[in-house]
Amino acid sequence: MSVASIITIVVSAILTDNIVLSKTLGICPLLGTSKKTDSAVGMGLAVTFVITVSSIVCYGLFKLLDFWNITYLQTIVFILVIASLVQLLDIVLKRFSPTLYNSLGIYLALITTNCTVLGSANMVIDYGYNLLETFVFGFFTGIGFTMVLILMSGIREKLNRTHIPKPFAGFPIALIIAGILAMAFGGFTGFSF
């Protein structure tokens, strides 16, 4: 493993293969929590934490499942790990950051069913990453997710101060913005070291 491969994973996770814009995983939180920057940042940080930890834990559990030759249980085990981590995050945020806990509201519980988290855990296995690469991929996938949420929330907050035709107000304009962002991030395809 070289520094160039780690840099490639970082650039790929954030820009070229962004989990939301390229893999189209996590559209629900993108549309739901990107109305305000505060909730977008909170959701992004929570998802980054869960993706990072769950990727590492799921990597280790997959090695055990592979050792016992029961990898067919991978999805069920990964879902249980993710649900447990989100529950732990819920308890910690409620205790130490009630403001963030209240601002996230229902979206915190939705991280459990967020396909971004499960998708990234599965991608780690599919790509054959080692433990360090798994950590880097999980962390920077979360950073890429957070960056897209913040970009989207900034654009949507600006659009709230302008006149948008009624048929495009709300989710339609959000989907248009997501499409334009996906095309912009598509410009990074082929970028390599």
* Cut 0.85: pTM above it: yes
Assess if residue 169 is contained within a domain. Answer: yes
Give 10-residue mean pLDDT values along the chain (193 residues): 90 92 88 84 86 94 96 94 87 85 72 86 95 96 95 92 90 92 86 58
Assess if residue 142 is contained within a domain. Answer: yes
Evaluate the CA torsion angle 111, 113, 116, 120 in order and state its sign.
Answer: positive
For the chain, the domain total comes to 1
Q: How many CA atoms lie within 13 A of 2 on its CB side?
A: 4
**Model pLDDT, residue 193:** 54
Assess if residue 173 is contained within a domain. Answer: yes
User: Where do runs of H (alpha helix) occur along 12-96?
Assistant: 27-32, 37-67, 74-96
Assess if residue 191 is contained within a domain. Answer: no
Q: Do the beta carbons of residue 52 and residue 164 sit within 8 Å?
A: no
Q: Do the beta carbons of residue 68 and residue 62 sit within 8 Å?
A: no
**Model pLDDT, residue 92:** 86
Domain boundaries, position 37: 3-186
> How far, in Å, are 55, 123, 167 from residue 61 at the CA level?
10, 14, 48
Assess if residue 193 is contained within a domain. Answer: no
Assess if residue 149 is contained within a domain. Answer: yes
Assess if residue 108 is contained within a domain. Answer: yes
Assess if residue 80 is contained within a domain. Answer: yes
